[in-house]
Amino acid sequence: MVNKGRVMVAMSGGVDSSVAACLLKSQGYDVVGVTMKLWSDDRTDTLGRSRGCCTIDDVEDARRVCQIIGAPHYVMSFQDEFRAHVIDYFISEYRRGRTPHPCLACNDKIKFDFLMKRANALDVEYVATGHYARLDASCGRPRLLRGVDPLKDQSYVLFGLRPHQMRHLLLPVGGFDKSEIRDIARDAGLPVADKPDSQEICFIPDNDYRAFLAERFAPTPGEIVDTEGNLVGTHQGIERFTVGQRRGLGIHSRKPLFVLSLDRAENRVVVGPAEGLLRSTLLADGVNYLSGEAPNGPTEVEAKIRYKSEAAPAVLTPRGEQAELRFREPQRAITPGQAVVFYRGDEVLGGGYIEGD
């Protein structure tokens, strides 16, 4: 079999990245498995198993997979980079009254910046991950496409990729659905075939982000007001709320109230009825276009304002590093700090971070 080149596979110990390594090995690549040590947490569950990100169990699972497929396995520490670019970002965004998406920062900075640089320094041509998305270079330039499994598609979290990164990136699982990936793992005898998917923020294994934040800075109490500025309650920290939230407001009202916005300058939470969550426009900052070039003028796209939302028709108007999105139909709970990602059909055109309307 012709050797297609060396590839460093980011292996979390889960089934997706394990199958990514297995597929690439079978296709003739010289696979090197790498588990990134990102976060230290000694907590365990009731059965005594490690919990959270980069656990001993995860490292062992990745090592066993590499042993089975005949690939070397290494653990690389990126803890300082992860703390600076993911955890500190996560904390600072909540302190600003925004709702961050830490997986976006992790992909952008850790996997597709620092890991790629480490691969390049070791003379490794490609980096691969277990993301459910596809790459296509048939038109002369790399294009990022949705994964074929609509329930698992992860193209939303990859909008920060640059053209030079896509030329050295492999996404081998994006052409399969989840059940096929588990079948491949079983057929290959991989011990992670039935391992559950992680449903948590990797560095907050109990999923209690409020407690995580409270350990790192003291909350500042403030007011909860309606859209007219009338006091309707108090809060114990603006970081405990997000746009669209209904439960846990501590307000007694005959009609349901939702968080409409967070006013960091006044340390206020603004609440109101559900219809107050509808917006037709948004402004995005830090916009990246995967082709390397912004469209010339207003462009019709489909845009997703959160990971699990459906893409909605909109007109994208580039404004330097920013972009304005005007939706055909109003969208619910457009949330500052989250990403908005632009599509044309299955292709990801780009994306940015929501600033407001």
Active site residues: 106, 202
Neighbouring residues of 134: CB distance < 8 A, sequence distance ≥ 6: 144, 145, 146, 147, 148, 171, 174, 175
- Angstrom distances, CA of residue 71 to CA of 65, 74, 221: 8, 10, 53
Segment holding 68, helix H or strand E: helix 56-69
Strand partners, 343: 302, 348
Integer Cα distance of 119 and 106 in angstroms: 17
Cβ atoms within 10 Å, residue 56: 10
Neighbouring residues of 271: CB distance < 8 A, sequence distance ≥ 6: 224, 225, 226, 232, 249, 251, 257, 258, 259, 260
SS3 content of the chain, % helix, strand, coil (to 5): 25, 30, 45
147 three-state secondary structure: coil
Closest CA to 134 of 115, 158, 114: 158
Output phi, psi for 346, to 5 deg. -85, -10
Cβ atoms within 10 Å, residue 255: 7
Which segments of 290-346 are extended strands (E)?
A: 299-304, 312-319, 322-332, 339-344
Integer Cα distance of 240 and 79 in angstroms: 26
